[in-house]
Every structure is written in structure tokens, then in C-alpha cells.
Amino acid sequence: MDYDKLLNLGVELGRRLMESGAEIYRVEESVERLLKAYGLDPQIFAIPNCLIVSVTTPQGHPITRMCRIPAHGTDIELLERCNELCRRLCRDPAPVEEAERMMEQLSNCRQFPSYVLLLGYMMTTGFFALFFGGGFWDCISAALCGMAVGGCILYGQWLTGSNIFFCTVVQAAVAAVLALVLVRIGVGQNLEAITIGTLMVLVPGRALTNAMREIMAGDIFSGLNRTAEVLLVATAMALGTAIPLVLGQYL
């Protein structure tokens, strides 16, 4: 058996899981179960931006691979397909070459067009504006703000780069400025409902949930890493929203 290919298979599964937004415990457990199904006893260490997998061959030769995980979002469909493939290979381990082909097919996930994603941002922010006490026109205003924020998220990477703090500041500022303009011209009435409803699409709820889950599970380093990310995003949201609203009082 080619243990290098087998190790690469396990690392590739872990990488795809992490890029889909999976929890640390899920990544480590999935890779461990996969490699154990092929007769190995692996050691796995994962943090939000790095995965290290080490195995020892039956001849006593240790093999280790480290994979750095770039910034990523959440892809529930890819996460489900990775889980399904892992369970399938654990039940019935296929030859490594066939398993590699099955792994490559995970990339063929459904991709929604940009207009569908923008529509999702609009509907989400509009309904949140209603939830926070806004009226019909506040819902429409929040939907327009959500479309603008969604546009920044989808197309603004060339301007903001990969700096999560600066990205969030710009997105929150766009939401606050547009909400202020819509209220000033009379389209919306409740500035607070419009602004808060729009900002809800930027709230890092999943990251906070995963952070608490990992801290309680004993993955302290990963939990603190995600907690720091959540605090950074929350600070950026507050800063990006406050500056336009404060300046708007004097204009």
C-alpha cells in the first residue's frame, strides 16, 4: 500500500472539511476514522488555519504532512458531501486510487449564481428589519442595504483584500451610510431597525458557536483563536457603523 497517497487522502479530506467551515473536532475525528479504516493509527492536530497529520507505517517509518488552511467561509453542501464520503470509506475502504477520484469529485458542488446570493442577502436583511420593529419601507430599505453589503462581500475582495478587520469595517460602513441616506430621503423611517437588520448578515454567529463548542470540548487554542476572530469582527462592525452615523449627525 502507498502510505504517502493514503496520508494525502486523509489530509485532503481534512482540508476540505475545514474549508467548508467544519468544527475542529469533526475534522480530527473524520481524518482519524478514515485512516484507521485503512489500518493506520494516525495522530491529528488541527487549528482553524492549520492541519497536521502524522502516521507510522507498519515498517516503523513515520510520515507527517502539514497543510495550511487559507481564509474561508461556510459551505454546508461541501461539508455534508465530505461527511458522506468519510462514512462510505470507513464502511467499505476502497482502493486508494479510487478513493482519490471520489475525493476529487467533491469539488463538483452546486454553485449558486451571484443574483441568487444577492437576493438571499436582500431577503435576510429585510426580514430582520421587520423583526427589529421596522415597517414595510424599512424592510425595503434594509433589503437595499443588504444588496449593497452582499455586493461588497461578493465583489469587494479586490478593494479590501483578505484583511478581515478592514473588510468588515468597509461592509458595516456601507450599510450605515446607505441606511442613513435612505432615511434622509424619506424611503425608510426607522434608522435603527434598518441598520441592525443589515448588520445581522455580518454577525459571526457560527464562529462564536464553534468557539464555545471547542472550548467546552477541550480544544482551548482553537476556541480562543475563533473567539479572538469574533471579537475582532464585532469591533470592526461597531467601528464601521459608528463613524458614518456620528458624522451624519453633523451633516
Its pTM stands at: 0.77
Indicate whether 161 pLDDT > 70: no
CA atoms in the 13 A half-sphere facing the CB of 87: 7
For all residues of the chain together, what is the average pLDDT? 87
d(CA 234, CA 204): 8
pLDDT for res 33: 93
Q: pLDDT tens-digit profile of 102-158?
A: 888 887 766 778 889 899 999 999 999 999 988 999 999 999 999 999 988 888 776
> Which of 217 and 128 is assigned the larger pLDDT?
128
**Residue among 39, 38, 42 nearest 28 (CA):** 42
| 121-130, 181-190, 241-250, range with the lowest pLDDT | 241-250
pLDDT for res 141: 93
The beta strands (E) that lie in 48-196 are given as 50-56, 62-68
- What is the residue-wise DSSP string for 172-239? HHHHHHHHHHHHHTTS-S-HHHHHHHHHTTT--HHHHHHHHHHHHTT-HHHHHHHHHHHHHHHHHHHH
